[in-house]
Amino acid sequence: MTRGIAQTLSEPKLRSLLVELGRAATRFRFEVAPNPCVGAAILSDGEVIARGFHEVWGEAHAEVHVFDEAERTGIPRERWDALVLTLEPCTSHGKTPPCIDRILESGISCVVVGALDPDPRHQGEGLRRLQAAGVEVVLLEDVTPLAKVAPHFQTWLDNERIRRPRPWTIAKWAQTRTGQLVPPQGVGGGRWISGPESLREVQILRGRVDAIVTGIGTVLADDPRFTVRPPGNLLKPPRRVVLDSRLRTPPTATLLKTPGEGEAGGPVDVLCIGGASSERHRALEVAGAHVHPFHVATDDGVNLRDVQTWLWDQGCRRVLLEAGPRLLTHYLKSGFVDQVRVYTGVVNGGQGPSMGEWLGKLKFHERIDREWGTDAVLEGFLREDRRRG
């Protein structure tokens, strides 16, 4: 017998549960962007027996977590009355299988949803498929509107962005108290500003993006690896992309060496401007890089719009920008940064330009300031209308 939702919880209770789930889901907003934040619960005999959230971009959606959690309670599936979701379930295959399949497979007889999928290409499809399979569907529209629960997702679905897609771009940098990206001479081996906890956190972030983008200035100054190391996920390391107009990347760069034991590195792409030395092009390819000449160049180097389009065409949806002040400010000026993570270490002074002025100019529509180890961390989504400096 179908135990309808009416017998388990009243509408006001469902509404307040949805609001509570929506609020809790936003805890993960910086981890899941550009995906929406989603919360889920399963009810049995009118009580919440499990909660689940979308916690990490590219990994399990809220539906998967909530079903796993409900299984762990030992309460048999026949006694699960309803699945409550802040957002209509997905029907398409992205980084993970469609949630609709998991819902149907669970045999749950009722699904309560607090908002429709805002993407016109999928809107209503999840609910139609549930109904077609005989599942009771309750839509409490706009109890958990995207504008409140995941405003960044609306940015992602912006018409202009759908027309000319580009990856979600997270700019991450470490700065001294004066906003400089290079420590004073003799401090941190000339490189390290943030503490060990932050360095570990960056490894986790690297394991959750499709590409790391940097500039030749950083490659020449630091000879970085841009690999993923524990506690980051080593299973699918991001591509490493160097913007290098004139192919100054040395073929002996550490980036091009086989990653050491216990670390993983994605393929290396060097993006130059057309007409760069064919000799250096060949030497880099022999060293293992993939060199891509770009037709359009500006005084500032490789055209960033073309870079963003190219990254999208390579399948990159979430990209981490780890560059020096020159490329970083050019990205910010161009309006291509969606999210920032800034570590301010306990270092006074420094060398080179300060990002302090930029930070003062940026406008956030969501922002948190937190402490992490010895560092202060600012994390936020940039406001669409105020990204450019």
Kindly tell me the sign of the dihedral angle through the C-alpha atoms of 153, 154, 157, 161: negative
205: contact with ligand NAP by CB under 6 A: no
182: contact with ligand NAP by CB under 6 A: yes
Bridge partners of 174, per DSSP, are 343
174: contact with ligand NAP by CB under 6 A: yes
Longest Cα–Cα distance of the chain, Å, equals 75
d(CA 12, CA 268): 54
Q: Which is nearer to ligand NAP, 57 or 173 (CB)?
A: 173
Please pick, from the candidates 26, 44, 86, 218, the single residue that binds ligand NAP as defined by CB under 6 A: 218
User: In whole angstroms, what separates CA 389 from the centre of its chain?
Assistant: 23
247 to 286, contacts with ligand NAP by CB under 6 A?
248
Q: Which of the stretches 122-130, 146-154, 242-250, 371-379 binds ligand NAP when contact is defined by CB under 6 A?
A: 242-250
Q: Which of the stretches 18-26, 113-121, 156-164, 322-330 binds ligand NAP when contact is defined by CB under 6 A?
A: 322-330
**Total number of residues that touch ligand NAP (CB under 6 A):** 30
Q: Cα(first)–Cα(last) distance of the chain, in Å?
A: 61
Question: What's the min distance (Å) between Cβ of 206 and ligand NAP?
Answer: 13
Question: What's the min distance (Å) between Cβ of 328 and ligand NAP?
Answer: 6
Question: What's the min distance (Å) between Cβ of 6 and ligand NAP?
Answer: 56
Given a contact cutoff of 8 angstroms between Cβ atoms, the answer to whether 267 and 254 are in contact is no
Active site residue 63: yes
Q: What is the β-pairing status of strands 136-139 and 301-302?
A: unpaired
**Burial class, 20, CB count within 10 angstroms (exposed 0-12 / middle 13-18 / buried 19+):** middle
244: contact with ligand NAP by CB under 6 A: yes
Question: What's the min distance (Å) between Cβ of 219 and ligand NAP?
Answer: 7
Q: Which is nearer to ligand NAP, 14 or 243 (CB)?
A: 243
Question: What's the min distance (Å) between Cβ of 201 and ligand NAP?
Answer: 13
324: contact with ligand NAP by CB under 6 A: yes
Instruction: Give, as one character, the DSSP assignment of residue 257.
Output: S
Q: Tokens 């073309």 correspond to what residue?
A: 306
Given a contact cutoff of 8 angstroms between Cβ atoms, the answer to whether 87 and 53 are in contact is no
Question: What's the min distance (Å) between Cβ of 272 and ligand NAP?
Answer: 8
Choosing from 63, 88, 125, 201, the catalytic residue is 63
Please pick, from the candidates 238, 265, 325, 380, the single residue that binds ligand NAP as defined by CB under 6 A: 325
Residue 200: its H or E element: helix 196-206
Please pick, from the candidates 27, 79, 236, 246, the single residue that binds ligand NAP as defined by CB under 6 A: 246
Helix H segments across 243-313? Answer: 278-286, 304-313
Instruction: Give, as one character, the DSSP assignment of residue 78.
Output: G
Helix H segments across 86-195? Answer: 99-106, 125-132, 146-149, 151-156, 159-163
339: contact with ligand NAP by CB under 6 A: no
d(CA 374, CA 347): 10
Residues marked active site are found at 63
The site for ligand NAP (CB under 6 A) is made up of 173-174, 181-182, 191, 193, 214-218, 221-222, 243-246, 248, 300-302, 304, 322-328, 330
